[in-house]
Amino acid sequence: MQTQMARATRVSRVLQLTLEGVAGATLFGMMLLTTADVGGRYFFNSPILGAVELTQLMLAALVFLSLPVVCWRQEHVSVDLLDAFFPAKLIWIREVIVNLIVTAALWVMAQRVWALAERAFSWGDVTEFLRIQHGYLIGLIAIMLALSALLTLIRAGFYLLEGFKVIEKGGPLSIGEPHD
């Protein structure tokens, strides 16, 4: 089991670094585009045509490229109203249930967004100025939602294995971990 866990850890690390790298490159591209657009507008009276559209597309891509990493690390915004009343030995059950609910919600959203991507392609939806097809971005969003659903399902499995004492730690909210 340990070699499988080590392999899973390596795969998750590569996936995480890849998504973080692409998201970081997108953010860097947004920064360069905005800097060039502002500089061109104020110093040369010549802004970059379509900069606003490109920034909007890159911002959406950035948010959804980051979602799987946030789901894997469980760095969502959360409210811990009931944590003081929840027994520490049963945290794993709560985390299995929460992750399964999140998985279901993400999967439903991924299916609906994929249908929107197909519709955008079939209707030929494009951006107003640069004529970039919306379907590509919508498809990326659907894929990232589905990947996030898969990762939360795996996280639920790790918590379940932790609860049955098959593995030592199922996630960042495992028993004995400091809670923020």
> pLDDT tens digits, residue range 23-71?
999 999 999 999 999 999 999 999 999 999 999 999 999 999 999 999 9
- The answer to whether residues 135 and 52 touch, using CB atoms and an 8 Å cutoff, is no
- Helix, strand, coil percentages for the chain (3-state, nearest 5): 75, 0, 25
pLDDT, tens digit, for every residue of 3-15? 776 787 788 889 8
CA 31 to chain centre: 21
Query: Which two tokens mark 18?
Result: 């890849």
User: How many of the other CB atoms lie within 10 Å of CB of 103?
Assistant: 20
> Where would I find the beta strands (DSSP E) of the chain?
none
- Which tokens go with 150? 């898969």
Listing DSSP states for 24-81 in one string gives HHHHHHHHHHHHHHHHHHHHSS-PPTTHHHHHHHHHHHHHHHHHHHHHHHT------S
pLDDT tens digit string along 71-106? 998 888 888 787 788 888 888 999 999 999 999 999
pLDDT at 114 over 80: yes
To the question of pTM greater than 0.75 for the whole model, the response is: yes
Residue in this structure with the two tokens 């979602």, named with its chain if needed: 67
Report the C-alpha gap between 155 and 100 in whole angstroms: 9
